[in-house]
Amino acid sequence: MDAQITKVRPITIAILALGGEGGGVLADWIVDLARHAGHLAQATSVPGVAQRTGATVYYVELFPKSAAQAAGRPPVLGLLPMPGDVDVVLASELMEAARAVERGFVTPDKTLLIASTHRMFSMTEKIALADGRVDSAALLRGCQAAARQFVAFDMAAIADATASVVSAVLFGALAGGGPLPIPRVAFEAAIRRGQVGVKSSLAAFAAGFEAARAGGAASPAVTDDPGSSALSSLPQVLAAEVARDYAGEARAIVAAALARLIDYQDADYARDFLVRLARFRELEARHGDGSGRLLAEVARQLALGMAYEDTIRVAELKIRPARFTRVREEAQLAPGQILEIAEFFHPRVQEIADTLPAPAGQWLLRTAWARRVMEPLLRRGKIVKTTSVRGFLFLYAIVMLKPLRRRSLRFATEQAALDEWLGLVGKAAGSSYAFALEVARMRNLAKGYGETLERGRAKLDKLAAALPRLRERQDAGPVLAGLIKAALAEESGQALDKAIAELDEGAPANPIGRATNL
């Protein structure tokens, strides 16, 4: 009898889902489905902390009831997924699919991997000092190589379109992928018995089923012209100029930059961006390698520098109608519920001075008694309820300072810093294209506001001071790239100081490897 039961292996299913995506409901549907289809089923879960270290893992094992009856005893089912022994992995997001691969749940001889291709960025990606995003294409390739079969498409888009959640789409993909010997109608019956958002869940299930039957789409969609949508939102004169003077990646970036700068300030400010950038079109033509990388990078960094975050911008973003709508959707308000949004502001004297006209701001910063008066008022910060009339009007009054932004101390400081950086890039282009490209990229260190901005500016100044020593080196580009990585490795700047000191001491010029290991 025991030999008879050991010949039958349970079907093992691991579900990796983030909070609010219905992972528990999906596990319940699978258990209910299996039990009504003549299987014994057991489900367990191991809580995670969402994107900080991983999703909650739900684990389900299914065993044919007929085999247990023939053996005369129930099977012993596992409580956790074991590496190399999982038949189906359902992942609600692409990074979670990759984490399942990393943990050994996905194997090329056994596992059907069903995953959504959308991304919910992890905490490590969000807190990175530079662009910390993991390459989605690399994640897709890794999942494809690791699985026996890989079914992947944007399930979040389907969930949004059907007013449902990703778990319902995953359930449809599980049915459409065909790993379970159970008909589609049985899956739909399980949803109805669950009595959780039945109508929308069935719509999402059907869409997921059809997408899985079609094989999924294991690569992100790419448009022929990534700048076309941004161009369409620009004034006709600007759009025509961008289409005439820029191509490829640079066109997409310039179009997006102009749209951002018009929103940030006005069309004249966007025109200033084009005037500054025109010089680098000429430099690209004279010194470029045909890739257009320098022009694209200068455009990107210049746009970010011109659209710096100040108190006016922060206030404007906090009271936009789109933000209230997004918060309501994320909070999933029920009819009749009232939403309150409380914002915490903690400006320093520097931020207040930056918002004032340049002469007044400079006076505040250099006048000791004025700083002493201001500092106690700003010590504890302020909570502003933007859903209240008083709080909304307070921030609205700050937004009304937008026409005066060009006269502010922060504006003068930022424009001077940008002009200095553009001069460094132009000078570097005359000696080495690769070196100029890294000089353009190092501007990414100065961003944000408050102490973050101050630390970034200090690092940028150190790199700028090192440029004359690097310019004559044949490996100036790679060495500067390593110094930038060292600057981004941690906040204090100690890694950058060490890399520059070793460079001055004549150590082998390979700071890239050292910075990567910090």
| 94-143: pLDDT as tens digits | 998 999 999 999 999 999 999 999 988 877 777 676 777 888 889 999 99
User: How does pLDDT run across 33-82, given as a tens digit for each residue?
Assistant: 989 888 888 888 887 654 444 578 899 988 888 877 777 778 878 788 88
Pairing type for strands 56-64 and 11-17 reads antiparallel
Q: Percent of the chain, pLDDT > 70?
A: 91
**Residues, the chain, total?**
518
**b/e map of 493-508 (b: 16 or more CB within 10 Å)?**
bebbeebbebbeeeee
d(CA 106, CA 382): 49
| Token duo for residue 479 | 């060495």
User: What totals of helices (H) and strands (E) does the chain contain, helices first?
Assistant: 27, 8
pTM of the model: 0.70
Where are the alpha helices (H) located in 319-449, listed in sequence order?
321-331, 349-355, 358-366, 368-378, 389-399, 409-429, 433-441
d(CA 489, CA 498): 12
Q: What is the pLDDT along the chain (518 residues), one digit of tens a residue?
A: 455 555 778 889 999 988 777 788 899 999 999 898 888 888 888 876 544 445 788 999 888 888 777 777 788 787 888 898 899 999 999 998 999 999 999 999 999 999 999 988 877 777 676 777 888 889 999 999 999 999 999 999 999 899 888 999 999 999 988 778 889 999 999 999 988 789 999 999 999 999 988 876 544 444 445 555 667 778 888 888 998 999 888 999 999 999 999 999 999 999 999 999 999 999 998 888 888 999 999 999 999 999 999 999 999 999 999 999 888 887 878 888 888 999 998 888 999 999 999 999 999 999 999 999 998 888 888 899 999 999 999 999 999 999 999 999 999 999 999 999 999 999 999 889 999 999 999 999 988 777 888 888 999 999 999 999 898 888 899 999 999 998 888 888 888 989 888 887 665 444 433 333 22
- Measured over the CA atoms of residue 363, residue 369, residue 373 and residue 379, the dihedral's sign is positive
d(CA 264, CA 64): 62
- Structural domains in the chain plus CATH codes: 2-213 (3.40.920.10), 223-307 (no CATH), 311-407 (no CATH), 408-518 (no CATH)
d(CA 273, CA 280): 12
Residue 19 pLDDT: 73
Residue 515 pLDDT: 34
